Amino acid sequence: MTGRPLWQWSATDIAAATRSGAVSCREAAASAVERMRTVNPRLNAVTLDLGDTAIAAADAHDARRLRGDPTGPLFGVPITIKDNVEVRGQRTPNGVAGLAHIIARDDAPIVRHLLDAGAVIVGRTNTPEFSMRATTNNVLYGLTLNPWDARISCGGSSGGAAAAVAAGICAIGHGNDVAGSIRFPAMHCGVAGLKPTSPVHAPLMSIQGPLARCIADIGLGLAVMQPADASRPGPTFAAAPGGHAIGLIAEIPGMPIAPSVAQALRDATAALEGAGYVVEPVDVPDIVHSGEMALRFLMTELEHLVVPIARRLGSEQINWYFDSWVNGMPPFRTREGFLEAVEARAAILSRWERVLETHPVILLPQRADPLLEVDEDLRSTEHLRHVLKGYAPSATVNLLGLPSVFVPTGLGDGLPTGVQIIAGPHREDLCLAAAAAIEARVGTLVEQLWRRA
């Protein structure tokens, strides 16, 4: 990393340098803060600048290291926290103006994990209202731009985090995912992102995960963000051997694959085969149907927990969005209908489990369509239905509770492309190993973005 500014360093390299004393935590924080204050006025990825407190925290870390105190795995690593989880003493607006006055009394568990690991929070990142849109835009803080192209959405709902990671504001961005909210922004901004295994009892619960510029940093962040406890196995990250078969989903009935997405799948396949994997087509349940089922489950919860609040505090845009969603993919409104869907989900999961027995890793699109433009999901009710249908490859993974990583594969027409990799429950190690094999061949994308700038 010699000769490169610290804001360009990976989290893995920063942590190694700060723990050894080769670089101070203050130097790492100051570089990130300077970068944030240079690029964020245009991008609007960060809604709350915590640069001054970040440098103070970094100074405290340096003093602890000099005293010989223990240092954590993210010691001195600049990170951001999404605007929808609590950080002590700060507001948690979740993109909603009517929630901006509420101050958190304590840190959310995910924030405490990161701080205990030595991470330094440089800012809070933008999210759409109620974290429920494909474009990160709201009436409270406005639009977050995609660092690659202002016409293209930065994704949602962790769009601020993805834009911040791509622009060099932080080495790891905190995000969460209920239907693709980590992986969609990663896809749009040309970075990596991972949705961990979801709880068996609540597969569609929002799950916390990292966004980063390289796969090694995803593994580093995930080990901190999803630590093991006595009630469940923790994720493992040992490199998997390249000899087992990877299942390929290159065609999705009822969902045409865009040329850029097809090329990304071919590039990923070539990289995996070059690393010694066998990649072969597999037959899985109807992804369009399972994706729609996932979004109907989600809207069933939203109708009871979020929509009533949106009626009081949300903008006209988000209320139109929820109304249009209900018209296109309605919630389950009867007990019988809900239970039938639960039974159908179990049957779908059983079929996927049989596929994963023979092909422990699956390669598929994150989205079949090209990248979305800014506010494309607000064009019309009919177009929103098309956008929601496009969530199917992503939302299916949430329906099943499986881990999934998005990894970039290159550029198509100057914009990021990439693929999604999934594996069985708690086999994040298999996802990351396959993603690392792709990255080893195609490289990371952000250096090309920085050269443009």
Please, what is the Cα angle at 264 between 81 and 171, to 5 degrees? Answer: 25
Distance (Å, whole) CA 40 – CA 49: 9
C-alpha closest to that of 189 among 237, 138, 147: 147
Let me know if 82 is a catalytic residue.
yes
Among candidate residues 153, 157, 198, 394, the one labeled active-site is 157
Distance (Å, whole) CA 416 – CA 446: 10
Among candidate residues 82, 158, 206, 290, the one labeled active-site is 82
Among candidate residues 158, 181, 260, 290, the one labeled active-site is 181
192-195, strands of its sheet edge to edge:
46-49, 120-125, 78-82, 172-177, 207-212, 192-195, 404-412, 415-423, 361-364, 245-248, 278-281
* Number of neighbouring beta carbons within 10 Å of residue 363: 25
Q: What is the DSSP secondary structure assignment for residue 6, as one 8-state letter?
A: G
Report the amino acid identity of residue 117: A
Let me know if 389 is a catalytic residue.
no
Distance (Å, whole) CA 22 – CA 75: 13
Residue 253 burial (C-beta neighbours within 10 Å; 0-12, 13-18, 19+): exposed
CB contact at 8 A, 41 and 156: no
Q: Hey, is 121 helix, strand or coil?
A: strand
Q: How far apart are the first and last CA of the chain?
A: 20
C-alpha closest to that of 394 among 417, 366, 369, 363: 366
Let me know if 157 is a catalytic residue.
yes
Q: What residues are labeled active site?
A: 82, 157, 181
